[in-house]
Amino acid sequence: MGIIADRRKVMTVKVISPDGQIGGKCKKDRNLTSLEFRPGSYTGYTEQRLEQQLAEVLKRLAKGYEQAWEQILAEAGRRPIKDPAQVDQEVWKKYLTELPNITVAGAGPNKNIRFKTRGMTEYKCKLADGVVGRLSEYEFAEQAMQASADLMRKFNLEMMLLKDECWGLGVPEITRERLRRKKERSASA
């Protein structure tokens, strides 16, 4: 493997919530792979305060991921292109313009924990009423990781569809239509 693949394979990003009570970790696929609370802190949260802290953990993980990715590219003598003004090809301008606007939502089991992102830079978290009292700390962390995985799966799907629009990857129209209908149903739910 090359330097980029080797470094990405072992990439790990760790962050702490703004209040210092929650630790989060992600790896190369950006999924939340670990969520840990300082001893005794989980049951002290209200849903609203925990929503704010979790949204910030995801935002910090995304920023840390981007920084780690840029460092890996720099070590290989490359740099990421993010600004549409840096490219001449219209197809790249379209991709770089639309990528930060991809908006998706992901949920864990029973929709106890839901995450939403716009362009992997803005995050929101919504917790079901009473979830802190119903779920143990372990169950909550597991469901948060499942919600993150669902969010990333949907983001990656939307990114693939954008790439198909730009470069013609060959996604069948029937698949696009099925996904569009599914998206409309979930938006109205």
Mean pLDDT over the full length of the chain = 94
Beta strand pairing call for 113-118 and 122-127: antiparallel
CA distance 19 to 32: 19
What count of Cα atoms within 13 Å lies in the side-chain half-sphere of residue 189?
9
Which tokens go with 32? 């939340």
What is the residue range of 17's domain?
3-188
- What are the residues whose beta carbons fall under 8 Å from the beta carbon of 186, sequence distance 6 or more? 105
Task: Dump pLDDT digits (tens) for 110-131.
Answer: 999 999 999 999 999 999 999 9
The predicted pLDDT at position 29 comes to 86
CA distance 93 to 91: 5
State the total domains in the chain: 1
Task: Dump pLDDT digits (tens) for 4-53.
Answer: 999 999 999 999 999 999 999 999 889 899 999 999 999 999 999 999 99
Asked if pLDDT for residue 164 goes beyond 70, the answer is: yes
Question: pLDDT-derived band of residue 148, with 50, 70 and 90 as boundaries?
Answer: very high
pTM over the 0.95 mark:
no
Closest CA to 123 of 144, 142, 109: 144
Sign (positive/negative) of CA torsion 184, 181, 59, 90? negative
